[in-house]
Chain A
Amino acid sequence: MDLSTEDFIAIRNLIYERTGMHFGENKIYYFKKRLQKRMEINQLHKVSEYIKHLKFFDRDNREFQELINLITINETYFFREFSQLQIFAEVCLPEVLEKKRAKSDPNLRIFSAACSSGEEPYTLAIILKEMLEDFHNWNVIIKGVDIDENVINQAQRGIYDSRSVKDVPPPYLEKHFSIPSPGRFMINPEIKNMVVLEHLNLMERRSLRNERHYDFIFCRNMLIYFDEFSRKQLVEKFYAMLNKGGYIFLGHAESLSRISTAFKIRRMNGHLMYQA
């Protein structure tokens, strides 16, 4: 299939405007394949026709959402987006901790939205365990929520296969996991106990009203699955949950600017960070 640069840019801009997701030019082939799939399903032969369909005829955004589902990678695993976690651990976390120490505030709260089978909240727990020298002085709560009860149950069990742990630094794998059977990895109780898991529908009107004073919220690669309106609604809820100076983390290809301008942008080690 031919996808001219102009059409690639047009679709890329449309996706960016509607979701905040951005793709580099090097993704053109990746895009083409998926676009071709959607075009075949819609029996459209020219990219320009497909773009027109998305702009003028896809009234309830159904086709657009199908395209988004196809171009986003839905897997979850420990230490996903390592470089971002590094900035969290080495820049954002120390900054927040320093302010808390100055105020003698021992509470540290992290929220992991759409945590699925728990890889993200447990990853964050491992990071905190490793980074906090005076760990016992802190009241750490990491809350992971998901609308799918089954994955929450899975997260409660805390047992994973080798695919999930492929990016865990070996020293951490050894320290924080046990191996109940070959190819299975179980998160240690010490880490498990740092995490509270809950079955929750983020879109329920009052679902997060009582969740307050969080220092970090992780909602990576999750907002893209919501429509524009719901996305804004969710980010507003997250803003209300955060302490002043708290951070919200999105997926590396996601940008907050299409959703909310209430957050401050900061650049840290080449990454964009959003602060309440």
Chain B
Amino acid sequence: MSNKDDFIKNLSSEDERERAFAIEDIVYEEIPEAIDLLIAQLEIESSQFVREVIIRNLRTLSGSELVEKTIPLLHSDDAFIRNAVIEILSEQDELAISFIELLLDNPDKDIRKFAVDILFQLQSPHSAAVIARGLDDPDINIKITAAEYLGRLEARAHIGGINRLFLTSKNLLLRCTCLETMAILGDDESARLVAEFYPQPEQINELELYSYLKYLARQGKEEYLPFVFSLMKSKGKLMAKEIINTIEGILRRSGAVYLPARMVEDLTLYIASEINVINKYELLVFLGHFKNSEIGPLLASYACSAEKLLCLGAVEGLGFLGDPEQLPLLVELKKQIKDDELLEAVEKAIIQLAPVR
């Protein structure tokens, strides 16, 4: 018996290990029928271990034969196989795109959706152009997926399609997806559409608000700050992450050196509220970038916190603030601290406040 016959015989072994070794050997030895053998085995294999071995080995292969023979498996009733094929095809190069693009004309919406998934994972320079076809697909799930992926690929060339879809969509999830993609890719037209669609942000429904805040975080201007701050009271805990990102995003882009007075007070209360410690940490560090006189004492009050992250945030914030008046506090803190990371942060802040002459 040749090696090849041995390998094929072992594919039927009762021992899953032997079947796995046979699969590896078939591919390693470049047996010509490897693809057919592996696909046939995949369709009957019951062991999850062996299935994973098959998939990993198929992924090492390439070429039009592999693409042509695995595409039909997208129709499999077995969800594992369908999703594994997406993985395999996503490893293929530009050559596969032409095959996958054809799938976008398939009458089965599930196949079209898989095609969009594969194109995204291929991350080829041409993927975006083909994915953009999905924006006009009759199936709404494909539109949503295409809109999401164009954002993740940062495909600015297609913002026009996204803007159009945002304007015409009646479906909440689709509109939110477009909004979040517009956050990343948004142009002047996007800004105009968003302002027109949401003339009164206070009236935006709760679900849409999440995505709207994401848009503001990346594209919003200072005039929206009062609105975002007002959300701290009504939605402060529920939407803490989104609110903080939006405030930071808008203020960073504005280049403001001072915060409006009211805002320092609001942020002080917010930090003291029930939001997560990591959010408080972030706000403390962020506050250090502004020169309002109340910020130094606020940070100082948290520098002695028993909660490490709060202490850390305050210390880092003081470092950014660079107020020499806080130097004695930091020097005193250095003597008391045992934690290595905190110590390092304090030492760094001391240097920032009192640079060596």
Q: Do A and B touch, yes or no (CB under 8 Å, in the complex)?
A: yes
Residues of A within 8 A of B282 (CB): 4-5
CA A25 – CA B279 in complex, angstroms?
A: 10
CA A29 – CA B314 in complex, angstroms?
A: 12
Closest 10 CB pairs of A and B: A262-B49, A25-B278, A240-B17, A5-B282, A262-B48, A232-B56, A6-B245, A239-B49, A29-B341, A236-B53
Those of B302-346 within 8 Å (CB) of chain A: 308-309, 312, 316, 341, 345
Q: List 18 A–B pairs whose Cβ atoms lie within 8 Å, in order of A's numbering.
A: A2-B286, A4-B245, A4-B282, A5-B241, A5-B282, A25-B276, A28-B278, A29-B312, A29-B316, A30-B341, A56-B123, A209-B21, A232-B52, A236-B20, A236-B49, A236-B56, A240-B17, A240-B21
Those of A100-146 within 8 Å (CB) of chain B: none
Residues of A within 8 A of B21 (CB): 209, 240
- Closest CB-CB distance, B45 to chain A, in whole Å? 12
A233 lies within 8 A of chain B by Cβ: yes
User: By the criterion CB–CB under 8 Å, are A4 and B48 in contact?
Assistant: no
User: How many chain B residues have a CB neighbour from A under 8 Å?
Assistant: 33
Q: Smallest CB-CB separation from A232: which chain B residue?
A: B56
Which of B49, B59, B281, B312 has its CB near the most chain A CB atoms (within 10 A)?
B49
A233 and B56 in contact (CB under 8 A), knowing A6-B241, A30-B341, A56-B123? yes
CA A240 – CA B52 in complex, angstroms?
A: 12
Residues of A within 8 A of B59 (CB): 229
Residues of A within 8 A of B48 (CB): 261-262
CA A108 – CA B312 in complex, angstroms?
A: 48
Those of A211-243 within 8 Å (CB) of chain B: 212, 229, 232-233, 236, 239-240
B137 lies within 8 A of chain A by Cβ: no
Interface string of A245-266 (1 = CB under 8 A from B): 0000000000000001110000
Those of A22-58 within 8 Å (CB) of chain B: 25-26, 28-30, 52, 56
Residues of A within 8 A of B286 (CB): 2
A205 lies within 8 A of chain B by Cβ: yes
Residues of A within 8 A of B17 (CB): 212, 240
A25 CB contact (under 8 Å) in B277, B285, B341: B277
Q: Smallest CB-CB separation from A241: which chain B residue?
A: B17
A28 and B49 in contact (CB under 8 A), knowing A56-B123, A236-B56? no
CA A234 – CA B328 in complex, angstroms?
A: 54
Q: Smallest CB-CB separation from B20: which chain A residue?
A: A240
Is the interface on chain A under 10, 10 to 19, 20 to 34, or 35 or more residues? 20 to 34
Q: Smallest CB-CB separation from A33: which chain B residue?
A: B344
User: By the criterion CB–CB under 8 Å, are B56 and A205 in contact?
Assistant: no
A229 CB contact (under 8 Å) in B56, B245, B341: B56
Q: Smallest CB-CB separation from B24: which chain A residue?
A: A205
B52 CB contact (under 8 Å) in A2, A209, A212, A261: A261
B101 lies within 8 A of chain A by Cβ: no
- Closest CB-CB distance, A149 to chain B, in whole Å? 26
User: By the criterion CB–CB under 8 Å, are A5 and B308 in contact?
Assistant: no
A5 and B278 in contact (CB under 8 A), knowing A29-B312, A209-B21, A236-B20? yes
Interface string of B205-231 (1 = CB under 8 A from A): 000000000000000000000000000
B347 lies within 8 A of chain A by Cβ: no
Those of B39-69 within 8 Å (CB) of chain A: 47-49, 52-53, 56, 59
A5 and B244 in contact (CB under 8 A), knowing A26-B309, A229-B56, A240-B20? yes
B258 lies within 8 A of chain A by Cβ: no
User: By the criterion CB–CB under 8 Å, are A236 and B341 in contact?
Assistant: no
Those of A154-188 within 8 Å (CB) of chain B: none
Those of B229-288 within 8 Å (CB) of chain A: 241, 244-245, 248, 276-279, 281-282, 285-286
- Closest CB-CB distance, B183 to chain A, in whole Å? 12
Residues of A within 8 A of B289 (CB): 2
Residues of A within 8 A of B49 (CB): 236, 239-240, 260, 262
B28 lies within 8 A of chain A by Cβ: yes
